[in-house]
Amino acid sequence: MAIVTVFVDESFSAATSDDYFVVVIGVITQDRRRLELMTRRIRKQRVKASSEFKASVTPPKLVKRFLKELAEDSNISIVAAIWESKRDAVGDFEELYRQLVARCVLRAIKKFPRAKVHIDKRYSHKRGQQALDLEIRRALALVRGNVVQIFQEDSRRVQELAAADFVAWAFMQHYCHANAEFYNLIRARVIHMDNLSQ
């Protein structure tokens, strides 16, 4: 079986919200080079350049274009892990984040057991990075014969992580702002979604 590449990023609702929503997205590609070229092409079309390519600072027209191109690429699959609750029910956010990432990666690896997983780096310190890696490895112990490399990387260096950011943003628009316009563009590529709050 061929080795796939998985790009993972998260998004969560604003701190002012009483209802809390967290989503972790895994964008799986069987053709990393194609995704890289797609990302570069859309990034060059932005009116304003910045150090990071994020959906939240990209014109909606370009967000739609990127999501449409992802949806039209037969090499792309999407997995998601989400959490919905009242803010006071969240508890330890970092623990929740690690559990969601682990579940998201697990779903990707159950479908594609040979993979390189690139996660948008949340932790600058080794302790946080090691805790996340351990949580993922524990989850992957459920998948026999998996061959997985895990990288926690800066999205300014690994531009394809933008694909996961844009998809996570589309989920946020749908679940937190009742705007399914962006989500509907890529929903056909979603092969699995876990709701850990259920």
pLDDT tens digits along 95-149: 989 999 999 999 999 999 999 999 999 988 999 999 999 999 999 998 999 999 9
What pLDDT, on the 0 to 100 scale, is given for residue 156?
Answer: 87
For the stretch 72-86, pLDDT in tens is 999 999 999 998 876
pLDDT of residue 48: 63
Q: Can you name the CATH fold of 4-195? A: Nucleotidyltransferase; domain 5 (3.30.420)
Strand, helix or coil for residue 164? helix
The three-class DSSP label of residue 147 is strand
**Mean pLDDT over the full length of the chain:** 90
Name the pairing type of β-strands 19-29 and 147-153: unpaired
Tokens linked to 70: 């992802």
pLDDT category at 88 given cuts 50, 70, 90 is: low
DSSP-based three-state secondary structure for 85? strand
Q: Between 40 and 198, name the one with better pLDDT.
A: 40
CA 71 to chain CA centroid, nearest Å: 15
State how far the Cα of 4 lies from the Cα of 1, in Å rounded to an integer.
Answer: 9
Residue range 28-76, pLDDT digits in tens: 999 999 999 999 999 888 756 555 789 998 999 999 999 999 999 999 9
What pTM value is reported for the model? 0.93
> Rounded to an integer, what distance in angstroms lies between the CA atom of residue 90 and that of residue 138?
22
- Compute the half-sphere exposure of residue 49: CA atoms within 13 Å on the CB side of its CA: 5
Continuous H helices in the chain: 32-44, 60-72, 93-111, 126-140, 161-177, 183-186
pLDDT at 87 over 60: no
State the average pLDDT over residues 142-167. Answer: 94
Identify which of 134, 100, 110 has the alpha carbon closest to the alpha carbon of residue 9: 100
pLDDT of residue 177: 87
For the chain, state the CA radius of gyration. 16
Assign 12 a pLDDT band (cuts: 50, 70, 90).
confident
